[in-house]
Structure 1
C-alpha cells in the first residue's frame, strides 16, 4: 500500500457505529452497503477481509461466518482449531505479500461493541521505529491509512493469489 496517506480517525463516530449499529461482520456478510469490505478469503465457516480503517498496510480481519461472541469459549475445540488454522493461513499470505518485520495477531471486541469474534492480522513494515511498533502501530488514535478503493482491490487480489 504505497502512497497511502494517514488521516485522523473519527473515534466518537466509530464508537457510535460499533456500539449502536448492527454487527459489522454480520452486516458485511448480509451485503449491507455501509459495511462493505474487500474479501480476501472465504470458506463455508470463515471469512477474511481488508480492514476498513487500517492502521497498517494490508490489515486483514478474520472472522467466523456464524456470530460468535466469545473468542475461546464460544467455539468447540474443533471449531476453534479450524478458526486458528484460517488465521494462520491468512497471516502467512500477509507475510508473503508484505514481507514485514513481524505479523501481529490479536482479537479485540467487547460485549458493548464489535462483539462478533474477529482476529486482526497486521503486518508491521520493516524499518518502523521501535516507539511506533506494537500497540502504537495498531491504535487508530495515531491515525488510519486512507487507501483508495483501487489500491484496496489490488491488495485484496494479491492476498487472494497468495492464499490460492
Structure 2
C-alpha cells in the first residue's frame, strides 16, 4: 500500500518551473535547494528520485548536459545510450516496488522544465483502475507523503539493484 497523498502547492511549483533556474542543471551543479536522492550517475546521465512523487520509487532520468528536445537534440548514439539508462533504471525500480506496469514518459516545455528528462513510475499491483494511468501521475491528485528515512531507503534500494544488475557500469558504458 503506497503512503498517503498530500496536497501539492501547484502555484509555487509552476512559478519555480517557469521563473527559476533549470532544475536539472541546478541539481547537477550541486545547488542544495535543488537536491535530490541520486540513484545512478555516469559522465553523461543522472537518475534521481522525484521530489514530488506520485508513485513509490518514482525516478527522473536526464542527460547532465542541458538538452531540451528528445528527438532533434540527441544524435542516435546519445539517444540510444539515454534510453538504455532509462531501461536499466526502470527495471531496478520495478524490482524495488513490485510494479505491475511501468510508466515511462518525457514531459517539459519551453515555458518550464525545459531540460529533457524521463519519468519512471512503477504502478503498484492492485491499484484500482480509476487510480491508474494519468490519475496516478498527476500531482493535482496529491503527492506521496514520505518520511526522509523512507526516501533515503528507497534510493539506496534502487541504487543497489542497479549495481546488482551490472549493466550500466560495464566497460565502455560510462
For the aligned pair, the TM-score class normalised by the smaller chain equals over 0.9
In the aligned structure 1, how far is the partner of 2:156 from the partner of 2:107?
Answer: 26
**1:1-164 matches, cutoff 5 A:** 4-164=3-163
Task: Give distance in 1, aligned partners of 2:134 and 2:2.
Answer: 23
Give the root-mean-square deviation of aligned CA atoms.
Answer: 0.9
Q: Is the contact between residue 2 and residue 56 of structure 2 (CA under 8 Å) also seen in structure 1? A: no
Residue by residue over 1:99-142, the C-alpha shift from the partner in whole angstroms, topping out at 9 and shown as x without a partner, is 11101000000001000000000000001111110011000000
CA distance in 2, matches of 1:74, 1:127: 39
- Change in CA separation of 1:61 and 1:36 when aligned onto 2, cut-off 3 Å: same
**Alignment size in residue pairs:** 163
TM-score normalised to the size of structure 2? 0.92
Output the CA distance in 2 between the equivalents of 1:74 and 1:50.
Answer: 24
Structure 2 unaligned regions, length at least 5: 164-174
Q: Which residue of 1 aligns with 2:170?
A: none
Residue ranges of structure 1 left out of the alignment (5+ in a row): none
Cα separation, 2, equivalents of 1:130 and 1:67: 37
Runs of 4 or more, structure 1, over 4 Å off, are none
Encode CA deviations 1:71-110: one digit per residue, 9 max, x unaligned: 1111001000000000000000011111111010000000
Contact 2:2 2:55 in 1 (8 A): no
